[in-house]
Structure 1
């Protein structure tokens, strides 16, 4: 079963692993770079996912982890403003 990422309000941290829902909850409004680093750390350190060689997030089963729509738009906006990643 692959990890699902969901956006939530009022989290005590930037990103939290929720084993009951097999998901990572991320705090709405967090700076995108910080959020991606936190999610990547949860995936690789806590869950044993392989480290990605690019900016894509990979599940412990090896498949790509999809970002929720509102995060996808934010990541795309940051990537385009910073040039090629």
Structure 2
């Protein structure tokens, strides 16, 4: 089963892994860049999803993770500048 991303209210953090629902809950109204960075970190660091050069959000199985409709306008997270 692939990871789902869902928008929620009243979360303790910007993004939270919910293992019971196999989903990442993201706080409605969060700053875009920070939200995408936190989701990317949960996917790659916590769940072992592959990292990509274009910073696409991928499930641990390699399938692209889609953003919910109200977040679909957000682009991929920028890779950190390592210079």
**Shorter-chain TM-score tier:** 0.7 to 0.9
Moved over 6 A (4+): none
User: Is residue 42 of structure 2 the alignment partner of residue 64 of structure 1?
Assistant: no
Across the aligned residues of Structure 1 and Structure 2, the Cα RMSD in angstroms comes to 0.9
Mark the runs of 5 or more structure 1 residues left unpaired by the alignment: 77-85
How many residues matched?
75
TM-score, normalised with respect to structure 2: 0.87
TM-score, normalised with respect to structure 1: 0.85
Structure with the larger helix share: 1
Mark the runs of 5 or more structure 2 residues left unpaired by the alignment: 76-83
Quote the residue 1:22 is aligned against: 22
